[in-house]
Amino acid sequence: MTRLFGTDGVRGVAGRDLTAAFALELSVAAARVLPGEHGDHRRPKAVVGRDTRASGEFLEAAVAAGLASAGVDVVRLGVLPTPAVAYLTAELDADFGVMLSASHNPAPDNGIKFFGRGGQKLPDAVEDRIEAALKEPSEGAVGASVGRVADAVDDGADRYIRHVVGTIPHRLDGLRVVVDCAKGAAAAVAPEALRRAGAEVVAIHDDPDGLNINEGCGSTHLDALRDAVREHGADVGIAHDGDADRCLAVAADGSVVDGDQIMGILALELHEAGRLSKETLVVTVMSNLGLKLAMREAGITVVETPVGDRYVLETIREGGYSLGGEQSGHVVLTDHATTGDGLLTALHLLCAMSRRGLALNELAKVMTRLPQVLINVRGVDKTRAKSSAALAEAVSAAETELGDTGRVLIRPSGTEPMVRVMVEAAAEPHAREVAERLAGVVREDLVIG
């Protein structure tokens, strides 16, 4: 049976998959599960934030109604980044937080994500309990037991800005920065935070209208940021996604600096400062082999997880580590945040540039990205990928051929009848040749029917 919760909450097309009725019912179920995690007998409190999608308005109303009907006091935070909602869940001593966002997805999509006490992402087991509670009958609160709904008394955006700016060791005076707000939640905080930190800021795509989030901009569309960096003679460009939990960058020479390179830079910064917990960096299996080789040379251990920032977070928490993330730009700095935070990442990346007095493209040389070829093989039986003897034999031969200078990853899609074949090698033609060879084996051995 398909699980309701994905790797990052419940997502779908707003108004079709995520209706007001469903959002209300899911909120009632969450209210029955989450406060009970903490054994607190006072009336529970939840904070609710959203990104700039128009659908967030009706979903916010539905979530607030559901929570209040279940006896939860609701504090509406308005438009804020996902990491700001996580931070304010802890800062305002809420029992849990709710974020309405579909991250980098287009405007018609939306999502509902829950944070537990302290702004922590929920374990699978707790999400499963919420899903189970959806199917159980429930009685609403009555009289004085009903929850109250109010807007935040203090400016949540200002609190969050003061927090992230307060984490950097020195100001960013002298840096000219272009920030792409993705027509999303970053527009509410990123330009102001960078200015308070001392940078000269040019903001682009900071004009959300509810329908244009991520449209041709942000961390998934970097061309406009690259052009703006050149046009304004900036030192660096920073790109966020719709809910600002990602950060990618463009150097002054136009080169893209991805999440792997950012993690490499920050890992060395923390390592040199003696603040890289257990001298370990946590990444997913999709991180480039070049990052792992660079970290090994620097004496830093790399721990791998499945794809998804939730798995990175779980591993970080369980191992007591301080840094991890994904190639896509989700970076977790646990000294300052409980989840991936694009603005926090940007500030610390800029601090590294400022401290070292180096251009970003020079800093990015901390690692050499190996050519990476990804082929999606569709229309195959992905469930047989792990049991195919022919595929296992082909992968083993490819790994022997590549040795220590390459890598093979065969990964069934989580949502489609498709297998992803990823190969890294010292040279792109070699990587492509091996990837195509393996993709051919997948087609021949796993074809449906």
Q: Does domain 372-446 have CATH number 3.30.1330.30?
A: no
CA–CA separation, 331 and 345 (whole Å): 7
Q: Which CATH architecture has domain 10-154?
A: 3-Layer(aba) Sandwich (3.40)
Question: Could you say which of 103, 328, 354, 388 is catalytic?
Answer: 103
The 10 Å Cβ neighbour count of residue 199 is 26
State whether the Cα torsion 191-182-210-110 is positive or negative.
Answer: negative
The secondary structure element, H or E, covering residue 239 is strand 236-239
The 10 Å Cβ neighbour count of residue 16 is 8
Tell me the sheet residues that pair with 250.
Answer: 237, 256
CATH fold match for the domains 159-366 and 372-446: no
The residue ranges of every structural domain in the chain are 10-154, 159-366, 372-446
Q: Which CATH architecture has domain 159-366?
A: 3-Layer(aba) Sandwich (3.40)
Active site residue 103: yes
DSSP assignment string, 6-46: BBTBEEEEBTTTB-HHHHHHHHHHHHHHSGGGTT--SPPEE
Does the annotation place 245 within a ligand binding site? yes
The 10 Å Cβ neighbour count of residue 262 is 26
* Full-model pTM: 0.91
Does the annotation place 109 within a ligand binding site? no
User: CA dihedral defined by 12, 16, 17, 23, rounded to 10 degrees?
Assistant: 100
Does the annotation place 207 within a ligand binding site? no
Does the annotation place 241 within a ligand binding site? yes
Tokens at 418, concatenated: 């498709």
pLDDT tens digits, the chain, 449 residues: what are they? Answer: 568 888 788 999 999 999 999 999 999 999 999 986 545 557 899 999 999 999 999 999 999 999 999 999 999 999 999 999 999 999 999 999 999 999 999 999 999 999 999 999 998 899 999 999 998 888 889 999 999 999 987 889 999 999 999 999 999 999 999 999 999 999 999 999 999 999 999 999 999 999 999 999 999 999 999 999 999 999 999 999 999 999 999 999 999 999 999 999 999 999 999 999 999 999 999 899 999 999 999 999 999 998 888 889 999 999 999 999 999 999 999 999 999 999 999 999 999 999 999 999 999 999 999 999 999 998 888 888 888 999 999 999 999 999 988 999 998 876 677 899 999 999 999 999 999 999 999 998 887 76
CA–CA separation, 112 and 25 (whole Å): 12
